[in-house]
Amino acid sequence: MESENIINVPDYGVLVESHIKRPPSADVRHRHNYPSILYVVNGQGLVEFDNRKLPVNADSVIMLEKEKFHKLSDRPRKSMTVFSLYFDTQTAGLNKYIVDYLFALKAPFELPLYYSENIKRHLRQMLFEQNTKPPGYKLSIKQNLSLAILQIYRAGLEQAKQKTSQNPPSSRERVSAVIDFISQNCHEQYGLADAARLGNVSQRQFTNLCRNLTDRSFIKFLNATRCKKAAELLKQSDKSVAAIAFEVGYEELSTFYRAFKKIYKSSPMLFKTGS
């Protein structure tokens, strides 16, 4: 049995649905008239398409091209909660290269925690904007969709690098991935407790592995990463010291001054002027 699930995407090109109990159409092979992304919030099951049955778990992403027949089924006592994103690539203003790359993966993949949390935040914001329609909601939905897809794209690239290994990542590999992620997102307010949770290890274990991988404690690693970025901005831009401190993740200017001077033996202003 097959069915056609007609989706009415609004004029700005994006529709978000959250299914705690999925619609009856999900239990039979069906297709959508728009490309879609299915994000499994929790639960476990199978997705069927292209004559394959593939397992999906919490934080799995399923990319479905327009008109692709598929079917979702739950594992016993593991019913899935699923976010569905339907979009018109051109109207929503999405990057075609990134969208094409994701659809070319041809299989669901599970997101690391540090990506899934960001994506959930974007999805929740999209649902809020869609349901309440505050001023500028269309722009907000499109921007949050773009950011969610960018996070999925980065996670997909990371998964492709790890595909050669059939074993789940070790504690050391998870911590290394979190360190790389925080290096790229040092402007975010991640503390040791956050980093340990993202790596699924204890704070003590994260501290030991971080020191082993970077020769620094987590706080010293984070300060070094932020100050290195700040040093580049001080030399390459005309931004004020206060603006740079905020951009690299410091909310208190005095904290930035202390951290920078400890590493570079100079105040940010003297470093900028070369005095």
| pLDDT, mean of residues 198-208 | 94
Q: Is the pLDDT of residue 197 over 80?
A: yes
CATH of the domain at 149: 2.60.120.280
Together in a domain, 142 and 191: no
Together in a domain, 175 and 232: yes
Q: Is the pLDDT of residue 2 over 70?
A: no
| pLDDT, mean of residues 195-224 | 94
Together in a domain, 77 and 136: yes
Interatomic CA distance for residues 7 and 95, integer angstroms: 22
Together in a domain, 243 and 152: no
Together in a domain, 182 and 155: no
Interatomic CA distance for residues 273 and 35, integer angstroms: 52
Mark which of 162, 181, 208 sits at the end of a domain: 162
What's the Cα-to-Cα distance from 101 to each of 96, 98, 116, 157, rounded to whole Å? 8, 5, 19, 10
CATH of the domain at 203: 1.10.10.60
Contacts of 139 (CB under 8 A, 6+ apart): none
Q: So what's the pLDDT on residue 158?
A: 81
Contact 88, 9 (CB under 8 A): yes
How confident is the prediction for the chain on average, in pLDDT? 89
Q: ∠ at Cα 61 (56, 67), nearest 5°? A: 100
Together in a domain, 110 and 53: yes
- pLDDT tens digit sequence for 57-96: 999 999 999 999 899 888 988 888 899 999 999 999 999 9
Phi and psi, residue 91, nearest 5°: -65, -40
Together in a domain, 146 and 203: no
Question: Residue for token digits 């980093």?
Answer: 195
Together in a domain, 133 and 25: yes
Together in a domain, 139 and 199: no
- pLDDT tens digit sequence for 109-152: 888 888 998 899 999 999 999 999 999 999 999 999 999 999 99
Total of domains in the chain:
2
Together in a domain, 147 and 191: no
Contact 144, 129 (CB under 8 A): yes
Place 160 in a pLDDT band, splitting at 50, 70 and 90: confident
Place 156 in a pLDDT band, splitting at 50, 70 and 90: confident
| pLDDT, mean of residues 19-40 | 77
User: Which residues form the domain of 142?
Assistant: 2-162
Mark which of 133, 162, 191 sits at the end of a domain: 162
- The β-bridge relationship of strands 109-110 and 60-64 is antiparallel
Together in a domain, 175 and 158: no
- pLDDT tens digit sequence for 90-117: 999 999 999 999 999 888 988 888 899 8
Tokens of 121: 């935040």
Together in a domain, 85 and 30: yes
Nearest alpha-carbon partner for 224 in 264, 176, 181: 264
Mark which of 119, 143, 162 sits at the end of a domain: 162
